[in-house]
Amino acid sequence: MFDIGDQIIYSVHGLCKIDDICEKTFGNKTRNYYVLHPLDDLRLTINVPVNSDQAVMLKVMEKEEAEEILQSFLQPGITWIEDPRQRNKEYSSLINTGDRKSIVKIANTLIKEQYYASQNKKRLYDQDRNLLTNIQNIMFEELAVSLNTSVGEISQRVIRMVLTKA
């Protein structure tokens, strides 16, 4: 359970702050909700049931875990799936679990594939670019907060780590 004021990672919205925990009624059903907002969009308010099975909400990682996650970019990525639809389905499914180590493997592979494509004057499929952008926006922001640095610095470090193994 989270508390008011906690910073969390919430699915596609990324880094959010919990503003309130209160009882609300939607569709004739009353239950407790977290009321939160993304830190990069103070105007957006999100209501998430406290006991939701469908929402992935994680505490922002501690510095030690962030260092470990960052170092895992030195490991091999996930297996590249040739079929774009199947790849998007598989990778999205893994991302939606919120498992950071799986997400790192996907990011690792997509960064490498983006590099290889650019070397051949090609581009990644839009779906792949969107997945990578979402991962970078959410995970790199979380790493930056946990390690007290900038998203740009995290991005540079990750790309150097991944591409030295390419």
Q: In this predicted structure, what is the pLDDT of residue 97?
A: 86
2 in any annotated domain: no
Answer yes or no: is pLDDT of 53 > 80: no
3-state secondary structure of 26: strand
Number of domains comprising the chain: 2
Same domain, 24 and 75: no
Decide: 10 and 55 in contact? Cβ < 8 Å: yes
**Segment 60-87 mean pLDDT:** 95
Same domain, 45 and 74: no
**Segment 3-9 mean pLDDT:** 94
110 in any annotated domain: yes
Show the domain range for 156. 63-164
Answer yes or no: is pLDDT of 109 > 90: yes
3-state secondary structure of 20: strand
Tokens for 28, please give them: 């004739």
Same domain, 132 and 71: yes
Q: What is the pTM of this model?
A: 0.85
